[in-house]
Structure 1
């Protein structure tokens, strides 16, 4: 949205880098035409303010980058009004696209409706001192998201996929919704099935309210959480999936539309707000702190933060063979939306 300088009045910048994480309204100089400046307004969450660049994440998930020198006005504004409603209607393909934005690769390429994804780094060869090898951080960020039509015959699509991952020294994985029409085609070609996963959804409001309730008799009080846009060393140390790829993992996990990391003694969690949806993941509780409600507490705290940005629904991914996590999420109101799995070509 553009506006003429003459209609603005006196402009002041009332925000600083200390306001990162708050909802703000900012105005930047867009251009000067015939000696008359015009301005663009942006409302959203102040995601970062670093090295002369101000980043504001809007409700639609888009992050606007503003050069600090172009900023002419800014102020903190009240949280966005909570939208009515709960879980939006979404197909499996649509929700897979939302989930993919919450766990973005470092490199991607479109093949029709499919997305080829990679997030890999070179790691040492192992205890025997072998040559270095390429290793990807999670299958989600190193697989083809096969939703929609690749735009070419299937065999040609698979050949392009194999060449793309071969150039990067990575194995071929295809992430496929269980209802995909390509499932039978890959069965016929001998592609194996791995890592069956459930995608579950829930309305956000009941989950957020849990953070406001007092602890049960005999139970500890709700912990005090800290929130950040990037994970610190302690958060990363508590996350079990990074291994030798901590730097790469941090780059993947800080991607996404509006990312929040939460931490308290013994527990961590991550949420990504994308319009009406909130993606939950990376919930980790230290072994000695389990069965104290900390997983529920961190998800509830993140849900409250997401509601402040106008989200109404939650989604997450859980391995089908993880009964403990599935039971937890059922207690929190999550129900199955669809399933997906990975395919690998025959050896």
Structure 2
């Protein structure tokens, strides 16, 4: 496994972790030392149901704390999951490795400068304020998420920073692309970017990301961040066109069978 315990940009890693938690809030948040435990009964998102260590030096009583967290997860009907980032204590990583914990769902956190908008200071596509409309579009583009419709509505409604909900529509198929931009001071996060399968490869993803970034720039953001699955080469290629670069990676860990 790639070593993620060290990073030349640890202050940036800490900041991106913090804005990431605000951008996708869990229903229940608890701390065990510097281990942030996030649980959400209504949605099975890994990011919303994971232990997130935030201090590489906080490695006391690892076995006991994992057992305590496991009981908390079990109360929610969830399997204990640790999100391993550069902030995860090396001793915890060693413990999981020795115990045969599985690694899965690797992602890359990226950042890019948002270029100034054109002199008109306007954007062609304005975000909607209708969370229901956005969620309906998400479910239509990603049918497998229909059961999570109510949960997505609740999660998006709980986001505290300013949000821009972008929905592109086609007269024939309805929603063709979506993007959720979260403006947090001088940073903007891009989440939930998706394009209808029949509209991919037509430049729509580029257009909706561009609209999201222009909106964020007008709101005061100067840099944008996002997380993309390691194996999603198409998305990584898209984001590279906008100047996104890798800052760090993370994976999820669970106890082996």
CA distance in 1, matches of 2:44, 2:163: 18
Other-structure match for 2:136: 234
Instruction: Report whether the alignment pairs 1:286 with 2:196.
Output: yes
| TM-score, structure 1 as length reference | 0.62
CA distance in 1, matches of 2:149, 2:235: 24
Q: 1:94 to 1:325 in 2, by over 3 A?
A: same
Deviations 1:82-102 (A, max 9, x none): xxxxxx983323311211111
Q: CA RMSD in A?
A: 2.6
- Gaps (5+ residues) in structure 2? 1-8, 170-175
Contact 1:196 1:320 in 2 (8 A): yes
SS in 1 for 2:11: coil
Contact 2:125 2:211 in 1 (8 A): no
- Gaps (5+ residues) in structure 1? 1-87, 122-135, 214-221
SS in 2 for 1:280: strand
CA distance in 2, matches of 1:319, 1:167: 29
Which of 43, 46, 52 is the aligned partner of 1:139?
46
Higher helix share: 2
Instruction: Report whether the alignment pairs 1:246 with 2:149.
Output: yes
Higher strand share: 1
CA distance in 2, matches of 1:100, 1:276: 16
Q: 1:212 to 1:299 in 2, by over 3 A?
A: farther
Q: 1:344 to 1:326 in 2, by over 3 A?
A: same
CA distance in 1, matches of 2:178, 2:214: 15
Which of 162, 172, 180 is the aligned partner of 1:258?
162
Q: Which is greater in Rg?
A: 1
Instruction: Report whether the alignment pairs 1:326 with 2:233.
Output: no
CA deviation after TM superposition for structure 1 residue 276, in Å: 1.3
Contact 1:198 1:336 in 2 (8 A): yes
Q: Between Structure 1 and Structure 2, how many residues are aligned?
A: 236
Answer 1 or 2: higher relative contact order, Cα 8 Å, separation at least 6: 2
Q: 1:195 to 1:153 in 2, by over 3 A?
A: same
